[in-house]
Chains A and B, each alone.
Chain A
Amino acid sequence: MGRLLQFAALAFALALAALPTVAGEREPGAKLKVVTTIPDLADIVREVGGERVEVTSIARGKENLHNVISRPSHLVALSKADILVQVGLSMEMGFIPALLEGCGNPQVRPGGKGFINASDGWQPIQVPAVLTRQGGDLHPQGNPHMNIDPRAGRHFALRIAEGLSVVAPEWKAEFETRRDAYLARLERAEKRWLEFAREWRGRKFVVYHQEFNYLAEVYGLQIVANLEVKPGIQPTPNHLAQVIETMKREQCTVIATALWSKNDFVARVAEATGAKVVELPNMCGGIAGTDSWIAMLDLVHARLAAAFGTPVPPVQ
Chain B
Amino acid sequence: MNPTSAIRFAAALFLAPLALAQNDNPAAGKDNLPPPSNLVGPGPLTMPASQAAGQPNSQGTTFVTPGMPTLGRRVSSGQVTRFTNDFNPAFSFIIDATGQVSEAENGADGADVFLRTFEIGGNAWVDPNAWAYFTAVAEDEGIGVEEAAVHYTGFGNKNVVRAGRFFVDFGKQMQTHVHDLRTYERPLVLREYLGAELGGDGLQWDSWTTLGDATVVRWSLGAFASLLGEGDEDADPANTPFASVVEGTKREDDFSYTARLTGFTEVGERGTLQLGASARLLPSYELGLGLDAGAIGADLSNTVWGLDATYGWVGETGIDSWTFGGEMLFNTGDVGAELTGADDIYTVVDDSLTGFYAYGDYAWDRFNAVGAQFSSAEVVGDERSELEVYYTRLFSEFHRLRFVLGASDSDVDGSGSKFLVQYTTILGAHGHGVNW
Once the chains are docked, how many angstroms separate the CA of A19 from the CA of B314?
37
Once the chains are docked, how many angstroms separate the CA of A291 from the CA of B5?
52
Could you tell me if B156 and A20 are in contact, using CB atoms closer than 8 angstroms? yes
Could you tell me if B52 and A140 are in contact, using CB atoms closer than 8 angstroms? no
Could you tell me if B46 and A88 are in contact, using CB atoms closer than 8 angstroms? yes
| Cβ contacts under 8 Å, B272 to chain A | 71-72
Could you tell me if A136 and B316 are in contact, using CB atoms closer than 8 angstroms? no
A181 within 8 A of B: no
Could you tell me if A76 and B210 are in contact, using CB atoms closer than 8 angstroms? yes
Given A14-B161, A90-B78, the answer on whether A110 and B216 have CB atoms closer than 8 Å is: no
Instruction: Please name the residue on chain B nearest to A89 by beta carbon.
Output: B46
B1 within 8 A of A: no
Number of contacting residues on B, CB 8 A? 84
Instruction: Please name the residue on chain A nearest to B314 by beta carbon.
Output: A69
Task: Encode B380-414 as 1/0 by CB contact (under 8 A) with A.
Answer: 00000000000000011110000000000000000
Instruction: Please name the residue on chain B nearest to A127 by beta carbon.
Output: B46
Given A6-B223, A101-B54, A122-B43, the answer on whether A117 and B49 have CB atoms closer than 8 Å is: yes
Which listed residue (A10, A89, A162) contacts B42, Cβ 8 A?
Answer: A162
| Cβ contacts under 8 Å, B158 to chain A | 21, 79, 104
Identify the stretch in B58-66, B97-105, B290-298 within 8 Å (CB) of chain A at 4 or more residues. B58-66
| Cβ contacts under 8 Å, A88 to chain B | 46-47, 52-53
| Cβ contacts under 8 Å, B37 to chain A | 123
| Cβ contacts under 8 Å, B212 to chain A | 76
Q: For residues 74 through 93 of chain B, which have their beta carbon under 8 Å from a beta carbon of chain A?
A: 74-82
Could you tell me if B266 and A73 are in contact, using CB atoms closer than 8 angstroms? yes
B416 within 8 A of A: no
| Cβ contacts under 8 Å, A30 to chain B | none
Could you tell me if A95 and B47 are in contact, using CB atoms closer than 8 angstroms? no
Could you tell me if B205 and A16 are in contact, using CB atoms closer than 8 angstroms? yes
Could you tell me if B203 and A10 are in contact, using CB atoms closer than 8 angstroms? yes
B310 within 8 A of A: no
B362 within 8 A of A: no
Once the chains are docked, how many angstroms separate the CA of A17 from the CA of B221?
10
A241 within 8 A of B: no
Once the chains are docked, how many angstroms separate the CA of A75 from the CA of B265?
11
Given A10-B203, A137-B397, A260-B319, the answer on whether A234 and B155 have CB atoms closer than 8 Å is: no
Task: Encode B350-369 as 1/0 by CB contact (under 8 A) with A.
Answer: 00000000000000011100
| Cβ contacts under 8 Å, A124 to chain B | 46
A60 within 8 A of B: yes
| Cβ contacts under 8 Å, B55 to chain A | 97
Could you tell me if A101 and B161 are in contact, using CB atoms closer than 8 angstroms? no
Once the chains are docked, how many angstroms separate the CA of A6 from the CA of B284?
12
B38 within 8 A of A: yes
Which listed residue (B33, B46, B317, B319) contacts A119, Cβ 8 A?
Answer: B46
| Cβ contacts under 8 Å, B31 to chain A | 194
Identify the stretch in A44-52, A147-155, A247-255 within 8 Å (CB) of chain B at 4 or more residues. A147-155
Could you tell me if B205 and A75 are in contact, using CB atoms closer than 8 angstroms? no
Task: Encode A169-199 as 1/0 by CB contact (under 8 A) with B.
Answer: 0000000000000000000001001100000
A13 within 8 A of B: yes
A232 within 8 A of B: yes
Could you tell me if A72 and B157 are in contact, using CB atoms closer than 8 angstroms? no
Which listed residue (A104, A151, A263) contacts B35, Cβ 8 A?
Answer: A151
Could you tell me if B205 and A100 are in contact, using CB atoms closer than 8 angstroms? no
| Cβ contacts under 8 Å, B257 to chain A | 9
Could you tell me if B47 and A141 are in contact, using CB atoms closer than 8 angstroms? yes
Question: Can you list 16 A-B pairs, Cβ within 8 angstroms, ordered by A?
Answer: A6-B255, A66-B76, A73-B266, A88-B52, A92-B53, A93-B77, A98-B63, A100-B53, A101-B62, A104-B157, A109-B53, A109-B54, A120-B45, A121-B43, A140-B82, A151-B33
The 3 closest A-B pairs by CB, nearest first: A94-B76, A121-B43, A90-B78
